[in-house]
């Protein structure tokens, strides 16, 4: 189910996203991880690569801010160009600022929505558009596999 499949994982340089990337690499998948910090991406690539079953598996890093629609779309399209259409898109790029509602400035909520919500939306939409462009026979098969880190955390 996972061997030789392509998995794109936003937020794959840390936390849940990196753990997911390592797991999928250990099951034989080709991996693309997306995050902003290049140093962290490259460090994660070493860790993820160490889990690969064989040397033919690809582990690609792409630096992009998923809250920026242009960057998010470009990253998804680059991932597809380099590793083919993915079987899995894991939207795990996100931030969390715990605190009491009355103590958190509105900017924190705006930033959280921009990254966690719109970042996931932009990447999902970019993949759907690319799938339609490339005439994937059944887009619903991809839609069903979209998941957020919140879903991962609760499943
Ligand atoms: N850990 C939990 O138990 C848990 C439970 C439920 C939900 N969540 C949610 O799941 C998400 C991930 O949690 P985590 O614990 O894995 O967090 P984490 O360890 O801080 O990892 C966040 C990842 O997202 C990337 N990222 C953040 N902002 C980004 C942006 N604008 N564009 C692209 N990449 C971005 C980070 O890389 P860069 O900073 O380099 O971009 C990093 O790779 C968060 O939203 C968190 O609130 C976590």
Q: Compute the distance from residue 109 Cα to the ligand 1 centre, in Å.
A: 15
Round to whole Å and give the CA distance between 119 and 97.
17
Residue 134, in any domain of the structure: yes
User: Whose CA is closest to atom 11 on ligand 1?
Assistant: 94
Q: Which atom of ligand 1 is nearest to the CA of 65?
A: 32
| CATH number assigned to the domain comprising residue 49 | 3.40.50.720
Residue 109, in any domain of the structure: yes
**b/e burial code for range 75-113 (CB count within 10 A of at least 16 → b):** bbeebbeebeebbbbbbbbbeeeeeeeeeeeeeeeeebe
- How many separate domains does the chain show? 1
Round to whole Å and give the CA distance between 69 and 56.
32
Q: Which atom of ligand 1 is nearest to the CA of 37?
A: 40
Q: Compute the distance from residue 67 Cα to the ligand 1 centre, in Å.
A: 12
Residue 1, in any domain of the structure: no
Q: What is the pLDDT of residues 76-131, one digit of tens each?
A: 999 999 999 999 999 999 999 999 999 999 999 999 999 999 999 999 999 999 99
- Ligand 1: list residues with CB < 6 Å: 10-11, 13-17, 34-37, 40, 65-67, 92-96, 115-116, 119, 149-150, 153
Residue 40, in any domain of the structure: yes
Q: Taking the model in full, what pTM does it have? A: 0.90
Q: What is the pLDDT of residues 15-57, one digit of tens each?
A: 999 999 999 999 999 999 999 999 999 999 999 999 999 999 9
User: Whose CA is closest to atom 15 on ligand 1?
Assistant: 15
Residue 93, in any domain of the structure: yes
Which residues form the domain of 107? 6-154
């Amino acid at each position: 189910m996972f061997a030789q499949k392509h998995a794109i994982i936003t937020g794959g340089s840390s936390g849940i996203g990196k753990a997911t990337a390592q797991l999928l690499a250990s099951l034989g998948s080709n991996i693309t991880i997306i995050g902003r910090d290049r140093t962290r991406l490259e460090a994660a690539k070493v860790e993820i690569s160490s889990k690969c079953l064989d040397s033919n598996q690809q582990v690609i890093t792409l630096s992009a801010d998923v809250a920026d629609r242009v960057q998010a779309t470009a990253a998804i399209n680059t991932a597809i160009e380099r590793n083919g259409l993915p079987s899995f898109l894991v939207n795990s790029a996100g931030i969390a600022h715990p605190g009491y509602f009355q103590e958190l400035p509105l900017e924190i909520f705006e930033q959280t929505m921009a990254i966690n919500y719109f970042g996931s939306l932009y990447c999902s939409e970019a993949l759907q558009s690319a799938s339609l462009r490339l005439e994937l026979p059944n887009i619903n098969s991809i839609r069903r596999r979209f998941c957020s880190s919140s879903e991962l955390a609760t499943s």
